[in-house]
Chains A and B, each alone.
Chain A
Amino acid sequence: MRKAIVTVMPKAGVLDPQGKAIGHALGTLGFAGVGEVRTGKIIELELTETDPAAAKAQAEEMARRLLANTVIESFRVELA
């Protein structure tokens, strides 16, 4: 088993109202010096593929076809 970690983030220029709301709430709590806040998702996949390159390629294909919507999101795959 190999674990792949897929990080999905909104692309630059795509509005992230959740990030904005979190940034605002941090300000309300008194945290100063917080610039832009962006939110995304982390998806952990357990893969039976043991070859690192093949496992990464598999997870990237999953990200392209389902886990991320590449119109609005970018993704990054790392193997744990």
Chain B
Amino acid sequence: MAGLERPRAGRIVLGDEVWFDAPRKLHISPERRRVGYLPQDYALFPHLTVAGNVRFAARRHRPDLLERVGIAHLAGARPSQLSGGERQRVALARALAREPRVLLLDEPFGALDTITRQEVRDQLADLLNTLRLPALVVTHSFDDAIVLARRIGVLDRGRLVQLASAAELTQSPATARVAALTGANVLDGTATPSATGSMIRLTTGGELASSQRASGPVQIAVQPWELELCDPVSTALTDTVVSVRDDHGRLLVRLTKFSLQIRPESNGRPPLAEGQSVGLRAAPRDVRVIGRP
């Protein structure tokens, strides 16, 4: 999109401007596309000050931009003196100085540690919201995508497999890979239609009811927080505990075929032990057949 690579096929159009068109062999060079590009490590010019970096892209002096991203006090600093979050802001201010028609952020948190990452992510989300500018963020992290994006396009082996909101991706994943990206348990099974939807007999053993109608071989997705533990005798689905660990104040229980997230027990029941056999259940509406809307 920035024009740094020449694709083999396709078209890139922004509004009425055609930037790339493979059949017509049209390729507009980067300096003539108005893309505000933030590469993974921000690529600030090390020989220029913060203000110099911004001025490089601006046709006129733009002190307002540093103010807008909240780093006016760093105008005279060199990139090597800045923290990761500050560098990102400089890169953003510099990209904005170009007066871009679209922003392209490549792995914006790749160069940051976890603590800075969360802080910077929230700040970036706020900034992008105030910019009134289309922004395309490339990331491997679904968490980042949820915070930053209204619409998420999932690329799998070079193809766009689904373009939807985070909620839609979770509710009706188009492929097993999309479901896995959202963190769901993905299982193979055979569906038989029933009065309230369908009953799915899992390949690994056990059954789950779904509110969706389906028949034949299917894949289902269930989120870890939608599974509930129950008495192994009273359910058609059982599994064995592999490990239990704390996950942001909840317990993440890994079973042999599933993982689930539960609230820590407060009612005095004995904690889960490794090797313990447990029963599982999920509400039929939470058992989603992959690839069905």
Q: Are both chains from one complex?
A: no
Enumerate chain B interface residues (CB-CB to A < 8 A): none
